[in-house]
Amino acid sequence: MMRTIDLKAISDSERRRLTRRSPVTDPIVREQSRTIVEAVRDGGDSALAAAGQKYGGGPPPGTGTLVSADLAAATDRIGIGLLTALQEAAGAIRDVHRAQIPTTRSVSPIDGVEVERLWAPLRRVAIYAPGGLAPYPSSVLMAAVPAQLAGVPEVVVASPAGPGGVLSDAVLAACAIGGVNEVHAMGGAQAIGALAYGTETIAPVDKIVGPGNAWVTAAKLEVFGVCAIDLPAGPSEAMEIVDGTASARAVAADLISQAEHGPDSIAVLVALSPDIARAIEAEVETLLSQLERSEIIRMSLEQNSFIVLAADEADACDFANAFAPEHLGIHTADAEAIAAAVTSAGSVFVGHYSPHSAGDYATGANHVLPTGGLARSNGPLSVEDFGSYRQVQRITRDGLRRLQPTVSALAAAEGLTAHRLAVDIRFEDSP
């Protein structure tokens, strides 16, 4: 089902081809998304409604915006089991992310010079929550709770309406628990355009976060610069590093749990022996017969996924760091040592009792993660993503005098004499 590649038998260029990829969508989707975004920018509510009718995700006219009172009512309509699960998940997210709240720092590199780094929350943030046929209340919580902790005063959610033009009560309840202020039933590239540029009834936002399909990702890239975005979100990814001590059945379950997101999902098995790789493949076949989304999983495994045979643990770690997966599970005798050696992964799951789904729903770790290799330079969504830093500089007369030779020399080297003048002029009328 999954092709097998022996890392010892391929060249460096072939290894790079396996690991270098991008979450950015193809040019045709980019171009079409740009057209939709520009139509909403120029046409406002009427263009948004037209796109909703054409592409789906929009409700009947005049029913698309919900506020806090509507959200609170949804918590009464869902079952107590789901409500409790949402509340417990939100509590765990809150506990984990509370430690991320930034603090003010001040440094004095030279006497008379102080540089302070201040952080403040953004004013208005939008969360895109995938919806339509399948609701994702967990994704709402993963963004809304950190935004709430950051102190963002206006948190907006956009989510595609499902059949009948209504939003899922599970999503609305998650919005209420996460402190969301308003919800708009809209999806796709048109939703991103409305959030970035605003319409007659929707105020523009400072930043858009949250996962979405290829059209959403392409639209986020189109509006970047008009407003901020988190990261372009590519297909879901799972990688497992295994040796002979791994439970083939548990590893197989972790691989297919991410592959079930969609036929474009990516699952990679990094095995230290061919025997354990064969055992895991056999377990995948067994488990597939029990699952509702088996055809989607099979497409993902056959089209986008593969097995690599690594020479040793160091080789496995090198490959993992080059690939930079969204999710990385470690099932080896010394899992902690491998976890310490991995520097590029969105979220790492160490040992037999750390399935990916626990992190997706319940541990409080964020599941909005970098994909497409962006984990080489980016981390999970955090409280800091909902604010920005600024520098505040205070300089005394004596401090500026100490800086004067440095400014003068560098300004002369760069031919910017007005820079030097701006310092020198302050001492013209004083000793």
CB-based contacts of 164, cutoff 8 Å, min separation 6? none
Q: Which of 184, 261, 327, 367 is catalytic?
A: 327
CA–CA gap between residue 265 and residue 239 (Å, rounded) = 11
Gap between the Cα atoms of 422 and 410, Å rounded: 13
Gap between the Cα atoms of 174 and 141, Å rounded: 6
Smallest CA-to-CA distance from 250 within 340, 349, 146, 339 is with 349
Cα maximum dimension of the chain: 87
Say whether 326 is catalytic.
Answer: yes
DSSP H helix total and E strand total for the chain: 16, 15
Q: Which residues, in sequence order, are bridge partners of residue 388? A: 120
Out of 281, 313, 326, 367, the active site residue is 326
**What are the structure tokens assigned to 200, written together?**
């007659």
Q: Which residues are registered as beta bridge partners of 239? A: 268, 328
Asked if 116 and 104 touch (Cβ cutoff 8 Å), the reply is yes
Q: How far apart are CA 351 and CA 416, in angstroms?
A: 58
Asked if residues 90 and 141 have their Cβ atoms less than 8 Å apart, the reply is yes
Q: Which of 355, 244, 213, 364 is nearest to 309 (CA)?
A: 244
Q: Is there a catalytic annotation at residue 352?
A: no
For 41-102, the DSSP string reads HHHHHHHHHHHHHHHS---STT--EEEHHHHHHHHHHS-HHHHHHHHHHHHHHHHHHHTT--
Q: Which residue has the tokens 């409790």?
A: 84
Q: Residue 245's CB: how many other CB atoms inside 10 A? A: 13
Q: How far apart are CA 267 and CA 326, in angstroms?
A: 10
Cβ contacts of residue 195 below 8 Å, gap of 6+? 126, 128, 156, 158, 202, 204, 205, 208, 223, 227
Interatomic CA distance for residues 289 and 364, integer angstroms: 31
Report, as residue numbers or ranges, the catalytic residues.
Answer: 326-327
